[in-house]
């Protein structure tokens, strides 16, 4: 067995044997699908009460992903725990002793954790869409409609990238408590705060959560300054910056 394969298997063992990481992935799926189904059912029953403008811009695909706002919280938790568990338990010293090339250790963890996050993200995305459309009844759409498959695949990719961003930033902070304290407000408060200040209301459109979520929508209501793929590229730039920062800190700091 090659050295690289042994490192990958080691990282796989670390992740699957920690209950918290397994449960966060499971909760991401359950919360996203359940909330999406609930909101889809409520909108289906109250569709006739919507204004004419809301009916014209009604996006059944985007509605089925309403639970992603909470599901991404579980993905953030997964990314944080995958990295911070080693620092909180002191296992990082043993990991660095076994794999002294730090780039190899970081790459192996990123490959395994990101593959898991993307797999769960894709399953969650398709399940949320299909079950959400079931709840929408006569107002549903299908995968054959223009832009729908792109939105479903993009949502799964978005959820995986959220976990990858969280991992990169946690390598910088190295503490689970600090990582949660920084990342939860960043994803759930900063955009709203910036949107309520006239001088900064457009800045929020370029934050990773806002830019990445653009790919979930099929119908453009005219409120976005860019398209879905540009939004995803903006998010990728944020993720790349977070991972690069994590790599820089891992190289410079002792365990």
The stretch 170-198 carries a mean pLDDT of 86
What is the token pair recorded at 203?
């800045």
Neighbours of 197 (CB within 10 A): 10
For the cut 70, the answer to whether the pLDDT of residue 158 exceeds it is yes
pLDDT over 80 at 221, yes or no: no
pLDDT for residue 220 = 79
Domain of residue 101, residue span: 3-252
Q: What is the mean pLDDT of residues 174-178?
A: 90
Range with the poorest average pLDDT among 17-21, 58-62, 149-153: 17-21
Between 151 and 6, the higher pLDDT residue:
151
Give pTM, 2 decimals.
Answer: 0.91
Listed residue (75, 98, 128) closest to 11, CA to CA: 98
Choose among 78, 76, 50, 77: nearest CA to 63: 50
- Higher per-residue pLDDT: 252 or 109: 109
* CB neighbour class for 170 (10 Å; exposed up to 12, middle 13-18, buried from 19): buried
What is the count of structural domains for the chain?
1
What the block records as the tokens of 92 is 């990082």
User: At residue 1, does pLDDT exceed 70?
Assistant: no
| Max CA separation in the chain (angstroms) | 64
Confidence of residue 254 (pLDDT cuts 50, 70, 90): low
Over 70: is that where the pLDDT of 139 sits?
A: yes
Question: What is the average pLDDT across 128-148?
Answer: 93
How confident is the prediction for the chain on average, in pLDDT?
Answer: 89
């Amino acid at each position: 067995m090659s050295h690289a394969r042994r490192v990958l298997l080691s990282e796989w063992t670390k992740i699957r044997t920690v209950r918290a990481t397994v449960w966060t992935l499971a909760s991401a799926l359950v919360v996203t699908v359940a909330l999406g189904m609930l909101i889809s059912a409520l909108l289906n029953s109250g569709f006739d009460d919507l204004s004419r403008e809301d009916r014209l811009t009604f996006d059944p695909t985007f509605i089925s992903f309403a639970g992603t706002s909470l599901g991404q919280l579980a993905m953030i938790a997964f990314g944080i725990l995958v990295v911070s568990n080693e620092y909180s338990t002191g296992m990082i010293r043993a990991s660095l002793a076994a794999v002294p090339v730090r780039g190899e250790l970081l790459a192996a963890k990123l490959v395994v954790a990101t593959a898991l996050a993307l797999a769960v993200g894709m399953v969650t995305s398709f399940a949320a869409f299909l079950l959400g459309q079931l709840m929408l009844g006569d107002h549903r759409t299908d995968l054959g409609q223009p832009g729908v498959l792109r939105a479903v695949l993009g949502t799964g990719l978005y959820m995986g990238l959220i976990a990858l961003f969280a991992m990169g930033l946690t390598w910088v902070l190295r503490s689970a408590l600090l990582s949660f304290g920084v990342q939860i407000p960043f994803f759930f408060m900063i955009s709203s705060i910036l949107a309520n200040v006239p001088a900064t209301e457009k800045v929020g459109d370029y934050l990773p959560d806002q830019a990445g979520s653009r790919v979930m929508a099929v119908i453009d209501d005219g409120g976005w300054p860019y398209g879905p793929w540009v939004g995803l590229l903006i998010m990728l730039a944020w993720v790349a910056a977070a991972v690069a920062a994590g790599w820089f800190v891992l190289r410079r700091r002792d365990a």
